[in-house]
């Protein structure tokens, strides 16, 4: 493909030549993107972005929106940093981000070999999507030395089908080291090509940069007559403020303007006209983000209300209802129902089809319908009835440093059952990723401490037919656990009542602590880990401990879910994977594997020999 790209240079030269004499910067250290752009004759500098790719994926309705926003933030970070750190202002900064998506999940670069194995196993025998978001930032340095920025962004999507991969092929490829710096865990241009059965779309997009679409976008930018109408391929013309910057760049390329000492264009700018729109656009993006945060509670309450009123169940049974029909089905006012339905459409929870009828979106079908295997309605009810009320006292809790988590969760059966439904929903959604994060087949017996409804235990029994699992929890929890037991399972899952701080622990080869350690004080955590260490069966080759929590980043800047959970100011604390590892090692365990999953919980497996 490199040779083909070089042969295309003459064809694309009229487009690329428009950037001649400009300080063009690639905000990426990817050797694939560097090679693709170099092969078409583009001259540019490489300044890797410092932007941390920690955007909350759940805030984006579609995966490509996440890729585009990440690319935009990468490019803007470099554009804003260079005048101060590099003492020169670029004319154009190019940012890009490539993601692999399958079944609605975004797969980026694997964190370790186990993560690569999990990704590639998921892709085996299936068709997936490779999406690259690209952002082109046009920079205009004014006479007062301030810089205005305009961002033009787009994305390209390619469908890729993997062959059925054997375990040997998977591990041979992983052991080659190639997957570790590539989105989705493979590189199609190298050894990873042997995994691919076919592709539909732009090959170079899978490599890491959609060259064809990029050149078309440049052609639109520098040839205004092409942008008077929407292109046949769906691309639309940049707005007027883009043209102000492009025109100034074009003049400089023709030698009609002066160049600064740093080599960047400094066209004359007045305080009026289209250029003012550039500043407004950048500020508008910031304003949008702040408003999203301020209105977040409204979105949550709309979600909780629609779930409580069973809007999604109604539309699952009777899809394609008009607003009036939904109102009658809910026994609610027409005006109020229409407002709620429209809000849910804006949040991506519903879709409004032709004729003004409503249907569930893919998101709500998966998580918000009662009979879905991944239903989170129990967690919704707990968040609405308990957590919402607790967080209304957050300011007082922060000022006083008091625990926001009320013990009334277990004060009566109704609250207790609601809490158990919430934990069951989380376990049903997050459990499979935790259970399959590592190979646990060596363990014949397992004990899920604080296992609540037994969701994790039943998942383990299903995944490992030779394993028997004990769920160990408080007597009041075990008493209600029968409500959640799926029918037809064998007797390999059993429930034992007890207090893991006070009573003797059941013997097992593998102990499980899922969403347990973050709840307790250091003293309690050390006491529990000491009991588990002592309970490990003497004479066994090894005893395992599987810990599942939300792992914070090393610098504690994310993920937001874990840090917001910490706002509860409970007696425990949130930790990073490294902090959990050090904690476990102090009790004689050796960390074997760490997995940052794409689900709600991460996982860590440690062994005591």
Phi and psi of 369, rounded to 5°? -105, 135
Which DSSP string corresponds to 249-267?
Answer: HHHHHTT-S-B-TTS-B--
Q: At what angle do helices 577-585 and 522-535 cross, to 10 degrees?
A: 60
Print the SS3 string covering 358-410.
Answer: EEECHHHHHHCCCCCCCCCHHHHHHHHHHHHHHHCCHHHHHHHCCCCCCHHHH
Please give the Cα distance from 362 to 548 (Å, whole number).
Answer: 27
Contact 329, 318 (CB under 8 A): yes
Q: At what angle do helices 323-330 and 334-346 cross, to 10 degrees?
A: 110
Residue 545: helix, strand or coil by DSSP?
Answer: strand
Q: Which residue is catalytic, options 91, 97, 115, 313?
A: 97
Please give the Cα distance from 11 to 30 (Å, whole number).
Answer: 25
Q: At what angle do helices 334-346 and 296-308 cross, to 10 degrees?
A: 120
Please give the Cα distance from 606 to 48 (Å, whole number).
Answer: 36
Please give the Cα distance from 238 to 5 (Å, whole number).
Answer: 27
Burial 153-182 (b: 16+ CB within 10 A, else e): bbbbbbebebeebeeeebeebbeeebbeeb
CA dist 413 → 387, 389, 420 (Å): 17, 19, 10
Which are the contacts of 482, defined by CB distance < 8 A and separation ≥ 6?
none
Contact 575, 549 (CB under 8 A): yes
Torsion of CA 190, 195, 200, 205, to 10 degrees: -30
Indicate if 97 belongs to the active site.
yes
Contact 472, 494 (CB under 8 A): no
Please give the Cα distance from 481 to 472 (Å, whole number).
Answer: 11
Please give the Cα distance from 38 to 386 (Å, whole number).
Answer: 57
Phi and psi of 383, rounded to 5°? -65, -40
Contact 334, 324 (CB under 8 A): yes
For the annotated catalytic residues, the residue numbers are 97
């Amino acid at each position: 493909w490199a040779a083909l790209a070089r042969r295309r240079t003459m064809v694309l030269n009229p487009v690329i030549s428009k950037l001649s004499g400009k300080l063009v910067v690639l905000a990426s250290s990817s050797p694939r993107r560097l090679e693709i752009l170099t092969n078409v004759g583009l001259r540019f500098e490489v300044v890797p972005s410092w932007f941390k790719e920690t955007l909350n994926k759940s805030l984006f309705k579609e995966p490509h929106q996440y890729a585009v926003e990440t690319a935009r933030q990468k490019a803007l970070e470099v554009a804003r940093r260079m005048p101060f750190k590099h003492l020169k202002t670029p004319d154009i900064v190019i940012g890009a981000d490539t993601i692999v998506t399958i079944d609605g999940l975004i797969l980026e670069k694997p964190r370790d070999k186990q993560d690569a194995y999990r990704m590639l196993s998921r892709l085996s025998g299936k068709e997936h999507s490779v999406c690259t978001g690209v952002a082109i930032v046009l920079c205009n340095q004014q006479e007062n030395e301030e810089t205005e920025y305009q961002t033009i962004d787009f994305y390209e999507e390619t469908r890729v089908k993997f062959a059925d991969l054997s375990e040997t092929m998977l591990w041979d490829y992983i052991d080659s080291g190639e997957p570790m710096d590539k989105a989705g865990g493979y590189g199609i241009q190298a050894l990873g090509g042997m995994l691919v059965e076919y592709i539909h779309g732009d090959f170079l997009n899978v490599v890491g940069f959609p060259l064809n679409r990029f050149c078309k976008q440049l052609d639109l930018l520098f040839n205004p007559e092409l942008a008077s109408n929407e292109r046949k391929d769906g691309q639309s013309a940049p707005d007027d403020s883009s043209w102000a910057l492009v025109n100034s760049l074009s003049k400089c390329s023709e030698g009609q303007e002066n160049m600064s000492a740093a080599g960047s264009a400094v066209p004359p700018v007045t305080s009026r006209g289209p250029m003012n729109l550039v500043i407004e656009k950048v500020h508008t993006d910031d304003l949008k983000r702040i408003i999203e945060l301020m209105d977040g509670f409204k979105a949550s309450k709309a979600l909780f209300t629609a779930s409580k009123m069973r809007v999604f169940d109604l539309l699952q049974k009777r899809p394609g209802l008009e607003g009036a029909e939904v109102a009658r089905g809910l026994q609610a006012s027409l005006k109020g129902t229409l407002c709620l339905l429209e809000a849910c459409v804006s949040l991506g929870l519903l879709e409004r089809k032709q004729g003004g009828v409503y249907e569930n979106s893919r998101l709500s079908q998966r998580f918000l319908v009662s009979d879905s295997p991944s239903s989170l309605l129990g967690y919704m009810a707990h968040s609405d009835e308990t957590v919402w009320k607790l967080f209304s006292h957050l300011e007082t809790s922060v000022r006083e440093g008091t625990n926001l988590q009320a013990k009334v969760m277990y004060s009566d059966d109704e609250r207790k059952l609601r809490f158990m439904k919430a934990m069951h929903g989380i376990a049903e959604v997050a459990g499979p990723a935790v259970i399959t994060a590592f190979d646990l087949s060596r363990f014949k017996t397992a004990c899920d401490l604080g296992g609540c409804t037994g969701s994790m235990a039943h998942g383990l029994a299903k995944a490992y037919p030779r394993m028997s699992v004990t769920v160990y929890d408080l007597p009041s929890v075990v008493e209600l656990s029968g409500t959640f037991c799926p029918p037809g399972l064998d007797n390999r899952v059993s429930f034992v009542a007890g207090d893991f701080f006070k009573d003797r622990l059941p013997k097992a080869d593998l102990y499980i602590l899922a969403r347990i350690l973050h709840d307790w004080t250091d003293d309690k955590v050390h006491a529990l880990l000491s009991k588990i260490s002592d309970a490990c069966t003497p004479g066994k080759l090894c005893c395992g401990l599987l810990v599942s929590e939300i792992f914070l980043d090393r610098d504690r800047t994310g993920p937001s879910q874990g840090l917001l959970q910490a706002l509860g100011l409970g007696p425990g604390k949130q930790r990073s994977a490294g902090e959990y590892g050090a904690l476990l090692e102090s009790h004689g365990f050796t960390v074997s594997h760490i997995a940052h999953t794409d689900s709600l919980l991460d996982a860590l497996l440690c062994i005591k020999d």
